[in-house]
Amino acid sequence: SGVVHVKNPHLEAMDEDILYHLDLGTKTHNLPEMFGDIKFVCVGGSPNRMRAFAQFLRQELGLAGDGEELADICAGTDRYAMYRAGPVLSVSHGMGIPSISIMLHELIKLLHHAKCRDVTIIRIGTSGGLGVETGSVVITDTALDSSFKPRFEQVVLGEVVVRSTELDKDLAEELLACSKEIPDFPTLIGHTMCTYDFYEGQGRLDGALCSFSSEKKLEYLRRAYEAGVRNIEMESTAFAALCGLCGLRGES
């Protein structure tokens, strides 16, 4: 039906839902009026990058102003930043699964309370390429964990919950088709591997700790490539799992 689902029966019994880390709430803000016509949400790690992206979108959409006057909707908190450009929200999510998970829980509730429909959410971020040309854009079809499995594992009340990390294949193909209009960026569809760590988790040799040899690193990266991995980052499994469960058309 295009609606944004929240899979939490407790929300209906709450007198007020406070989106703590976005500095928004159902009593303090008219969320349907503020966000009801949102159709696209683009998320990325850096607040400055997402502000610049919103300014770029305003120019592309032909909106009035030069974008310098863009206000941070979440200015009352220093956790995340949110900007609007017409029907598009540009939101920062910080670095890593814990940070993006907190933001997505509150963003999805925001879209639900605002009665948004047919929302597409796209994560835009830097990543480490694997066997691809430098500067390539990798469109994720499936997010994999560090064992090359399409799953997101989370411990809930002491038990491991496993969730699917499939992303919208049709949206991936649409984005690939759009990329043909931009010749400066080689673009491909592939698996994205999500890790919990930037250093040892991604096989880097320059962290404060390193428990493996360069030969072991290369052997692991070869196995990742053979499993279809074309880039490595730290948010995609949580992103894919939450979007899929809540009825959001998502791509990373």
pLDDT in tens, 120-171: 999 999 999 999 999 999 999 999 999 999 999 999 999 999 999 999 999 9
Instruction: Let me know whether 130 and 244 are in one domain.
Output: yes
Q: How far is CA 217 from each of CA 127, 142, 202, 205, 250, rounded to the nearest angstrom? A: 17, 23, 9, 8, 31
Its domain, for residue 238, covers 126-251
Residue 204 is assigned to a ligand binding site? yes
182: exposed, middle or buried (Cβ count in 10 Å: 0-12, 13-18, 19+): exposed
Residue 51 is assigned to a ligand binding site? no
Q: Where are the alpha helices (DSSP H) in 10-168?
A: 31-35, 47-60, 97-113
Q: Are 73 and 25 in contact (CB under 8 A)?
A: no
Instruction: Let me know whether 92 and 140 are in one domain.
Output: no
Instruction: Let me know whether 97 and 152 are in one domain.
Output: no
Instruction: Let me know whether 1 and 120 are in one domain.
Output: yes
229-233 and 128-129 strand pairing: antiparallel
Residue 126 is assigned to a ligand binding site? yes
Domain with residue 184: its CATH number is 3.40.50.1580
Q: State how many domains the chain has.
A: 2
Instruction: Let me know whether 112 and 192 are in one domain.
Output: no
Residue 117 is assigned to a ligand binding site? no
15: exposed, middle or buried (Cβ count in 10 Å: 0-12, 13-18, 19+): exposed
At 167-179, the pLDDT tens digits run 999 999 999 999 9
pTM of the model: 0.94
Residue 230 is assigned to a ligand binding site? no
Q: Cα torsion for 145, 46, 207, 165, to the nearest 10°?
A: 0
At 174-204, the pLDDT tens digits run 999 999 998 888 999 999 999 999 999 999 9
Residue 125 is assigned to a ligand binding site? yes
Residue 123 is assigned to a ligand binding site? yes
Whole-number Å distance between alpha carbons of 76 and 56: 24
